[in-house]
Structure 1
Amino acid sequence: MALTVTALAALAGLLLILPGLGREAKYTIGLYAYPAASLGGGMVLAAAAFRYRGRHRWAWLMMGLGVACWGVAESVYQITLAVAEEVPYPSWADVFYLVGYPMVGAGVLLLPHAPVGHFERARSLLDATVGAVGISLVAWITYLDRVVTFDGEASFLENWVNALYPIGDVLLLIAVMALAFRKSEHRFGLEFLLVGAALLMNAAADMVYLPLVNADLYWDGMWLDGVWLLAYACLAATAWVILQPPRPVADPHSRHLRRLLIPYVPVAALPVIIAVQSDLRARYLTLFTAVLVGLMITRQWMATREVREITERQRDGILASVSHEMRTPLTAVQGYSQLLNGDWAQFDESERRQMVGDIEDQAIHLGRVITDIIDLTRGKTSSVRLDRSQQCVAGVLERAVRALPSASQARVTIEADSQLTVDADRDRLHQIVVNLLTNAVRYGKHRILLRVGRDGGDVLFQVHDDGPGVPKRFEAAIWQRFERGAHRRGSSVDGLGIGLPIARALVEAHGGTITQHRSDVHGGACFEFTIPASAPPATSPTPEPRPVQPTFSR
C-alpha cells in the first residue's frame, strides 16, 4: 500500500512539473491525485507507526495523522468546491490544514533520541535553538514581513488565518532543524531523510504559494502542486522504509559535521539578507557585526578543540596512571618470584614463607590500588572502606620499604619506636607510606628519612627527602588529580600526579590530615600525616611482624 501511494504521488507530481501536458490535463490530475496522495500518505504513515511501541509509535502516529489532516482538508475543499462552486474563507478546510502543522511538528519533537549525556543533550538543544531563531529571523525578513498583513476590511478571523499559515511553515522548518539534530540509532536514517525532505518541500512550496496567490499567478495543477505531490510521495515512502527490517545500529556518540554547521547556516545568511535590503551605513554595520560573530565562532571552535585535547590527555593520563600505580607492587611480586624460582633451596623455611606472604600482600594491594584509581578518577574517594585494627608501625614501615625497588631501599632510614601502634587499615596505611616514599625516591637525591612518633593522641608519620622541594606556588596544586606542580611539563621525571591525591583521600578516610613543608632534616620536601593512635595493649604487646633482613639502614 505504501509503495502504491508513493508511486502514484511521485508520478502525478512529475506529470505536473514536467512540460508536455496541457493546463486542463494537469488540472484534472491534480484534482484527483492531490487528495488521494495527501490522505493516503498520512494514513499509511500512521499505520506504519504501529510497528513501534511507546514514544516512537506516538511520534510517527502524530506525523501521520497531521499529514492525514492535510488530506482531509484537501478533500473538504474539493467537495465544497464541487457542491457550492465557491469555497468560503476561512472554511473547515482551513481548520484541518492549520491543525496539521502543529501535529507534524509535535511528532518530530516526540521522536526518541539515542542516549547521550546531559551536557551533549544541552549542547544539542542550544544548537537547535540557534538554528530555530535563525530560521525565524530569516523567514520574517524575507517572507513573513510581506505576507503577514492585517487587512482592515477583512474579518478578525480572516486576518488570523492569514497569519497562521506562514507561521505553520516556520514550524515545519524548525521541525526539519530538529530532525537534523536527532541522533539516530541507525547508521542510515533514511526515514528521517525522507521526512525532512518532505517537510522542506512542503514549507518551500507554501512560501512560494502565498506570493503567487497575492499576485494572481497561481492556478490549480501548476508545477507548484507537483512539488506538494512529491512531498507526499516522500511521506508515503517513509512508511515503506519504517516497515522494513531493522538496520545495523550505529554508535550514538558519533559526531557529524552537519550537526555543527546546519544550525548556523540561517544565522550566517542573516547578514547577507540584511545587507541586501539595507542602506550603505547599515551594510557596513552588518559587515563589522558579521566579522565579530565570525571571530567569536572561530574562538569557540578553538576552545572546543582545546577541551577535546585536554580530555584526551586526561584519558591517556588515567590509563598511564594505572600503570604507574601498579608498577610498584608488580616490581615486588616479580622480584620475589625470581628469587624463589632461581634458587629455592638457598632460603630457609621462614624466609620462603615471608617472601610468599609478601607476594600475596602485594597482589591484594594491587587489587585495592586499581579500585582506588577508579574511585579517584570518578571523584568517589569519600567512599573508601577501611578495615581498621591495631597495627605495629614498625612492621608497616618495613613492609612499605620492601615494596620499593632494591636499589632505592638503601636510601631509606627509619626512625620509629618498635612498640608504637596505630589504629588503621593495614593495607591502606601501607599504600599511603609507599606513595610518599615513591615520591621521595623520584624527586629526592640520595637520602630519605622515614620518621614516626607520637603527637598527642595521634601518630605522626614524616617522609623527608633531600630534593629541591615543592615551590610555594604549587603547594596547593599538587593535591589535585594529575597535577605535578613544577614537573607538569617537559620533566624527565616520571609520574602523573596521582599518588598524592590518593594518599590524601586515604589519610582523610582515617580521620587524619596530611600536609607538606620544607624539610628541616635534609632540606628538601617533607610530607607528614597523622593517624589516630591506638591504645597501648594492657598485657601483651602487639606481635612483631615476621623477621626480615632489611636492606636499609636503621
Structure 2
Amino acid sequence: MLNTPDRAHRLLLVAACDLVLALAALLIRWRPEWPNAPALLGLPSFAVLGLSTWSFGGVSTGTGPFLVLMFAWAGLHFPRWVLIGYVLPGTVAYLVPLIVTGQPEIVIGSAFILMPIALAVALLIEAQARHLREDRERLARIEQWRAALMNTLAHDVRSPLSGIRIVLDELREDATGMPATMLDMALRQTARINRLADALLDVQRIDSSGHLRLDRQEHSALELIEDALSYLRPDEEIEVEVDPALRICVDKQRFEQILLNLVTNALRYGRPPVVIRIGRDGDTDRLEVRDHGPGVPESLRATLFGQFAVGGPEGVGLGLWIVRQLARAHGGEAVAEPRDPGVAMVVTFPAGPGNP
C-alpha cells in the first residue's frame, strides 16, 4: 500500500477477503465424516488470488507462488481428484486478471508453464502424504493387534494356571520325600509363569504410558538372589558373590524378573560359570551378571537392550529390553560391559534412603 497508494482501497479489499477466509477456516465446525469439505475453501481462495493480481495491475509475480502454495496445501490434505478439480478454477484465477488488465501474450502464456508445475508439485506431495498415512494406519493396526494379543495371552494364561496350582497344592499336602520336592518346584514354576504373564502386561503398560508402578522396599540382597535362583535347576554353574549384610531397596518381583532374565541369558548364550555380584558404589547399588562365553560384539552393544533387538530361534528379543525398562523404572540403568572372557550385564539401582 505504501508503494502503490493509488491502489490502497483495492489492497484493503484483498486483505478483508483474506481475513474472512481465515475466520471461516477457523470457525467452521468441519465434520469428520466429510474429510474433503475444507477443500471448498480453495474456490474462494482462488478468487482472492485473482483479485490480488487485478489489484496489482496485472502483476502476477506475487500471485504465482501463492497459487503453487495452494496446490501444495491441497496435496498434503486431499486426494488427487481434488487437485485435478483445482486446475480449472486455478487457471481461471490466474488468467482472467491478466486478460482484463491487458497483459502481453507472453505473460498470459506463462499460465501454461505455471499450472502444470503447480499440479505436478501437488501430485508428488499427495503421493508421499498418502503413503505416509497408509504406513501410519498399518502400524496403528499392527499395534492394536499386538496389544490385544499380549493382553489376551496374559489374561488367558492365568485361568489354567489357577486350576493347575489348586491340583498341585492338593497333591503337595500328602506328598513326602522326592515327590514333595518335585511338587514344590512345580509350584514355584507355576508362580513364575504367572509372574511372566504379569510381565507381558508390564510390556503393554510400558509401551502405552511409559510408566510402571513399583513397590520398593528394603530386602537382603543375598535372600533376593537365593529366592530367584530357586526357580532354576540346582545343578547350574552359578556363583554368588554378595555381602550377606547388604540390603538393597527394590521391588522384589521386578528385581527377581531382572535377575532371572540376565541369568538365563548368560546360561543360554554364554559359558559357565555365571557369576552374580551385588555391591554398593556411593549412593548406587550395582548388580552384575557375568558369563565366561565369547562376549558381545561391540557393534551390537549399543542396541543390545532395544526392543526385539537380538531375537533369534530361542527368543524374541524382549528380555533385555524389559530389564532396561525395569531398571529405569527404579531410577537406574542397564548396560553391557565387556570382560575377558565373556560379558557382564550391569544393572544399577539407587540406594535406599536408609542406606549410608
Q: Is contact 1:516-1:528 (8 Å) kept? A: yes
Matching of residue 399 in structure 1 with residue 227 in structure 2: yes
Q: Return closer, same or farther for 1:534/1:283 CA change in 2, 3 Å cut-off.
A: closer
Q: Is contact 2:154-2:197 (8 Å) kept? A: no
Q: Is contact 2:157-2:194 (8 Å) kept? A: no
Q: Deviation of residue 297 (structure 1)?
A: 1.1
Opposite residue 241 of structure 2, the aligned amino acid is: A
Give 1:526's match in structure 2, choosing from 341, 344, 348.
344
- Partners in 2 of 1:331 and 1:449 — Cα distance? 34
Q: Tell me the residue number matched to 1:294.
A: 123
Q: Deviation of residue 468 (structure 1)?
A: 5.8
Q: Is contact 1:453-1:460 (8 Å) kept? A: yes
- Could you give the per-residue CA deviations for residues 346-403 of structure 1, whole angstroms, max 9, x where no partner exists? 546974784476267436634642552232012332x522141323x34433433344
Opposite residue 437 of structure 1, the aligned amino acid is: V
- Partners in 2 of 1:317 and 1:427 — Cα distance? 25
Opposite residue 227 of structure 2, the aligned amino acid is: R
What SS class does the counterpart of residue 288 from structure 2 fall into?
strand
Q: Deviation of residue 298 (structure 1)?
A: 0.8
Q: Deviation of residue 500 (structure 1)?
A: 3.1
What SS class does the counterpart of residue 453 from structure 1 fall into?
strand
> How many residues of Structure 1 are paired with residues of Structure 2 in the alignment?
293
Q: Tell me the residue number matched to 1:430.
A: 256
Structure 1 unaligned blocks of 5 or more: 1-101, 115-123, 150-258, 537-554
Q: Tell me the residue number matched to 1:461.
A: 287
Q: Is contact 1:422-1:459 (8 Å) kept? A: no
TM-score (norm: length of structure 1):
0.42
TM-score (norm: length of structure 2):
0.60
Q: Is contact 1:412-1:448 (8 Å) kept? A: yes
Opposite residue 518 of structure 1, the aligned amino acid is: P
Matching of residue 416 in structure 1 with residue 248 in structure 2: no
Q: Which has the higher strand share?
A: 2
Opposite residue 440 of structure 1, the aligned amino acid is: A
- Partners in 2 of 1:397 and 1:330 — Cα distance? 29
Q: Return closer, same or farther for 1:283/1:266 CA change in 2, 3 Å cut-off.
A: same
- Could you give the per-residue CA deviations for residues 285-338 of structure 1, whole angstroms, max 9, x where no partner exists? 321332222122111111222223333444454456669989999999999899
Query: Which structure ranks higher in relative contact order (CA pairs < 8 Å, sequence separation ≥ 6)?
Result: 1
Q: Is contact 1:401-1:412 (8 Å) kept? A: no
Q: Tell me the residue number matched to 1:68.
A: none
- Partners in 2 of 1:334 and 1:398 — Cα distance? 28
Kindly report which structure 2 residues correspond to 1:101-120, keeping only aligned pairs within 5 A, or say none. Answer: 109=28
Q: Deviation of residue 440 (structure 1)?
A: 3.3
- Partners in 2 of 1:328 and 1:399 — Cα distance? 23
- Partners in 1 of 2:297 and 2:153 — Cα distance? 24
- Could you give the per-residue CA deviations for residues 189-245 of structure 1, whole angstroms, max 9, x where no partner exists? xxxxxxxxxxxxxxxxxxxxxxxxxxxxxxxxxxxxxxxxxxxxxxxxxxxxxxxxx
- Could you give the per-residue CA deviations for residues 169-192 of structure 1, whole angstroms, max 9, x where no partner exists? xxxxxxxxxxxxxxxxxxxxxxxx
Opposite residue 268 of structure 1, the aligned amino acid is: I
- Could you give the per-residue CA deviations for residues 243-272 of structure 1, whole angstroms, max 9, x where no partner exists? xxxxxxxxxxxxxxxx954xx644432334
Opposite residue 306 of structure 1, the aligned amino acid is: D
Matching of residue 271 in structure 1 with residue 100 in structure 2: no
Q: Tell me the residue number matched to 2:218.
A: 389
- Partners in 1 of 2:267 and 2:315 — Cα distance? 11
Q: Tell me the residue number matched to 1:495.
A: 316
Q: Tell me the residue number matched to 1:484.
A: 308
Matching of residue 365 in structure 1 with residue 181 in structure 2: no
Matching of residue 136 in structure 1 with residue 56 in structure 2: no
Kindly report which structure 2 residues correspond to 1:132-531, keeping only aligned pairs within 5 A, or say none. Answer: 132-138=40-46, 261=79, 265-275=81-91, 278=95, 279-318=108-147, 345=175, 347=177, 351=181, 354-355=184-185, 358=188, 361-362=191-192, 365-366=195-196, 368-381=198-211, 383-391=212-220, 393-403=221-231, 410-417=235-242, 419-423=244-248, 424-441=250-267, 444-447=269-272, 449-456=274-281, 458-465=284-291, 469-480=295-306, 483-485=307-309, 487=310, 491-497=312-318, 499-520=319-340, 522-523=341-342, 525-531=343-349
Identity, % of aligned positions: 17
